[in-house]
Every structure is written in structure tokens, then in C-alpha cells.
Amino acid sequence: MSLSAQDLSKAPVFDGIGYEPSFYSRSQFVAPKTNYEPLDYGNINTDKKKKVLVVCTEEKYMAMANGKKFSTGNHPVETFLPILHLNDAGYEVDFFTLTGGSVKLELWALPLQDASVSNIIEKYSEQMSQPKSLKDFVAGNFASDTDYVAVFLPGGHGAMLGLPESEDLKKLINWVVKEDKFMLAICHGPAALLAAGIGETAETYPYNAYKINAFPDNIDVTLPEIGYQPGEMPWFYGQKLQKLGVEFLNDNISGACHTDRKLITGDSPLAANLFGEMSAKALLADAKANG
């Protein structure tokens, strides 16, 4: 006799250091297969020097309000579905972390029956083990043989670890704005945009008066109830972005995405496929418009 979702445990799963989501919460939020469908983007990018810079977390555990550790990182669907679409459009990616430490993924969120995701993770496995250092990139005044046309901030609660406090990420974001590049951020990824607010007010924050779709604080409040996390959140990134003048368009998750100037956002794993499509199309359209 098979178990229904309601029969599954709501107790977070201890991994030896911290806690992964309960089996019940995984049944609600982790699908075995994604809705990725490869698209024919027509005149794709052929300039191999034009790439997307992906900033990931190198930290795995979030200390919750009760002191228990949540096993997190970047969400694999929110990271790799967009990259699949970027690849389809002719854009390779380079992985960066703050100091060059390995990329941390929420492995419990892998869609285990999705060959496309498995293959793209394998393709970039070496890069994720030895990503580039954002600290070095910034120290070198962003000099590179690569022409980065966008920065991508994947989701997962790991985007709240280290990145929002990074002066180097602040400099990168300011460089993106100054050079009129695209910023792509999904789910909790916009938490990393808080780095640009270090020492700033709403009036001087580069994304003041921008509108986004992202994972809402009010859902983070409820996640401990189903054992997704082992305790209440230590802080809420949405509140901090709103104080800097960012407007959230959503208070739930439905797969909604939004483009505001050159900031493209999506609300959750449900948005990953559309977010990837929108990002790829926006980069190609901009390249065509600007020769």
C-alpha cells in the first residue's frame, strides 16, 4: 500500500550537521521532473566571448532563529533550468562564488527523473567544484577576455548566505548597472541584491522603484510548519529590499516572472522555465538591437 502525501513525515531530516526538508514538504515542493522544453531561438548567439556570469553561494548551512541549521545552497532547478535556456540561445556561463569555494546545491531538491537537468549539471560539474573567485574578478577591476552580458543570481535560501553582506558583490552589481548589463534573479536570488544596499539608503540604491517577482516573506513564515526548515527564519530578505524601495508584485508563488528595464525576476521553482525563456530572449533581443 503506497503512502499519500499526508502520511509522510513533517519532521526535518538530520544530515549529520543540519536539517534537510521533511519528506512531506519535499512532496509539496520537489517534483521528479521539470517542465523544461528546449526551444528554437532562431538566430542564437555565436560570439563565444559573450557569456553569463553566475554568482552562487559557497555556504551550505543557514542558522535558523532557534539555532538549528538548515541544509541549503542554490536550488538546482532554479539554477539549471535557466542555464539550459541560456545554452539553447548560445550563451555559455561561468560560475563564480565569493572566494572561489565550491558551489553548494540543495541536492535534496534535485529532479531525479529529469535527464536534461542531470546532463547540464554534469556539464558544469568541474566549474562548480572550482568556480572563479568574485573577489579576484573585482580586484582585477572586472578585466576579462570574456564579455559578460548578464549576471545571474540563482535561488535557494543559500542566496541569503554571505552574498547580501558582500562588498565585492556590491561592486559587481554597481558595475552591471553602470555598464547597462542584465541582472537575472529568481526566487530567493534577489536577496543577493541587498549587497548593493550596503551603506546606502533607498535614494541611492540602484534598484529603487524597481518591481520584481520573487519568493515572498509570508510564505517563508509558514515553511517551518511543514518541516521544510527546522525553525523560523533568522531574517527576511523581502522586508529589507522593500526598505530600499523595491516593490514586490506577488504575495504567493504561481510561476510569475517580471522584467523591469534590465532586471528579470521570477517567483519560485515554478517560474524557472519561463524565467529562462524570458532571460534568453531578452539577451538575444538586446544583442540584435545593439548590433
Catalytic machinery residues: 187
Helices 76-88 and 272-289, interaxial angle, to 10°?
Answer: 30
**173: exposed, middle or buried (C-beta count within 10 Å: 0-12, 13-18, 19+)?**
buried
Q: Which three cell numbers stand for residue 51?
A: 557569456
| C-alpha span between 133 and 55 (Å, rounded) | 10
- Tell how far CA 12 is from the center of its chain: 23
* Measured CA distances, 156 to 175, 279, 283 (Å): 24, 18, 24
Handedness of CA 180, 201, 169, 274 (dihedral sign): negative
| C-alpha span between 195 and 198 (Å, rounded) | 6
Contact 194, 243 (CB under 8 A): no
Local structure of 283: helix, strand or coil: helix
Local structure of 196: helix, strand or coil: helix
Q: From edge to edge, which strands make up the β-sheet containing 61-63?
A: 13-14, 19-20, 69-71, 61-63
